[in-house]
């Protein structure tokens, strides 16, 4: 897959995708509005190209690292070589095609982005339906999820069978026997010994043990792990390997009236908003920030803190 084809996938998750030293693709939300004929146009998402935003926000870099089987050093070398070639092609006046996005061409001193059709409007989900590359470990997650469903199904069958057996054994009406005619016994015939009657108390006890065991298995599947002691949740606006890029985004958010904080979590510099000790509260606030910033790429991260 060419790097030109990867950018559309990054835009499904990020609001900005920069081409360092060249500019950035920007995904914007156009609010609902009335057209000249008085018809209400729904909210749409559009793409534009910013010639001023040239710093490396690492969105494309992180995507290539996470979806490539090559070593990090080789990915870096390929990306830098592609950027150098792209600059040369743009300076020559070539039209660069980005799959699913449009074409980029230099007009005067500025770069202009033209859509593949007549406009750059996107679908309600962001871009046209795409098949993302298979991420690492996704097969294992599917296997584990399938195994849990199999265990749950077996437990449900055992529990249902035990309940039915208990109903029939505990209901007196099911123990009534119809009178049967006594067969005539011929002389000198062998008499079959009568087996002792089954003890219904023992059957009920065994059935109850099966039910208790199945209920314990079902409940074990429903147990949620206890939250880690000292864990908190942060709303992540951006993740960077460079603290300089993280602080640039921090300044952008500060100018918009927010109070962001740069925290180093799991080896990455995370630009975060707020701190929540309850996950539900964090999700609720994250959805509010997504609406305010018109950025669906915000996400929630759990971390251990001594604060």
pLDDT in single tens digits along all 307 residues of the chain: 588 888 888 888 888 999 999 999 998 887 888 888 888 888 877 889 999 998 988 899 899 888 888 898 888 899 999 999 999 999 999 999 988 888 999 988 899 888 754 444 454 344 444 444 444 443 444 445 556 777 778 878 777 777 777 776 665 554 455 555 555 544 444 444 444 554 556 655 665 666 565 555 544 444 344 444 568 999 999 999 999 999 999 999 999 889 999 998 888 999 999 889 888 988 999 999 899 888 888 999 988 766 5
Phi, psi of 72 (to 5 degrees): -60, -40
Q: What are phi and psi of 117, to 5 degrees?
A: -105, -130
From the list 275, 272, 264, the residue with the least C-alpha distance to 242 is: 264
Q: How far is CA 214 from CA 6, 170, 202, 220, in A?
A: 49, 19, 19, 10
What pLDDT score was predicted for residue 145? Answer: 53
Q: In the chain, count of helices (H) and strands (E)? A: 7, 12
Tell how strand 268-276 and strand 261-265 pair up. Answer: antiparallel
Measuring CA to CA, which residue among 10, 40, 8, 13 is closest to residue 290? 13
Tell me, yes or no, if the pTM score tops 0.75: no
pLDDT at 33: 83
DSSP 241: S
Q: Where are the alpha helices (DSSP H) in the chain?
A: 3-11, 59-66, 72-91, 138-170, 200-222, 243-255, 279-293
Other CB atoms within 10 A of residue 23 CB: 19
Tokens for 56?
A: 């490396």
CB burial string 235-258: b at 16+ within 10 A, e below: bbbbbbeeeebbebbbeebeeeee
């Amino acid at each position: 897959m060419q790097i030109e084809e990867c950018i559309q996938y990054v835009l499904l998750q990020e609001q900005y995708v920069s081409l360092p030293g060249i500019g950035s693709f920007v995904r914007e939300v156009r609010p609902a509005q009335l057209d000249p004929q008085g018809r209400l146009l729904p909210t749409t998402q559009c793409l534009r190209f910013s010639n001023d935003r040239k710093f490396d926000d690492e969105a494309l870099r992180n995507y290539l690292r996470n979806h490539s089987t090559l070593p990090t050093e080789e990915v870096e070398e390929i990306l830098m070589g592609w950027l150098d070639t792209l600059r040369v092609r743009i300076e020559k006046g070539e039209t660069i095609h980005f799959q699913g996005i449009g074409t980029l061409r230099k007009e005067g001193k500025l770069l202009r982005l033209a859509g593949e059709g007549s406009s750059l409007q996107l679908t309600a989900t962001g871009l046209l339906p795409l098949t993302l590359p298979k991420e690492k470990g996704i097969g294992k997650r599917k296997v584990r999820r399938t195994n849990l469903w199999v265990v749950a199904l077996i437990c449900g069958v055992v529990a249902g069978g035990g309940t039915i057996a208990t109903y029939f054994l505990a209901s007196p009406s099911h123990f009534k026997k119809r009178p049967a005619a006594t067969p005539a016994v011929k002389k000198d015939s062998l008499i079959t010994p009568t087996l002792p009657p089954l003890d219904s108390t023992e059957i009920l006890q065994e059935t109850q043990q099966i039910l208790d065991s199945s209920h314990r298995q079902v409940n074990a599947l429903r147990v949620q792990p206890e939250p880690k002691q000292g864990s908190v949740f942060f709303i992540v606006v951006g993740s960077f390997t460079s603290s300089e890029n993280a602080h640039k985004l921090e300044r952008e958010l500060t100018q918009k009236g927010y109070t962001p904080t740069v925290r180093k979590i799991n080896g990455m510099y995370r630009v975060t908003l707020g701190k929540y000790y309850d996950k539900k509260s964090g999700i609720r606030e994250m959805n509010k920030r997504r609406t305010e910033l018109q950025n669906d790429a915000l996400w929630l991260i759990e971390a251990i803190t001594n604060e």
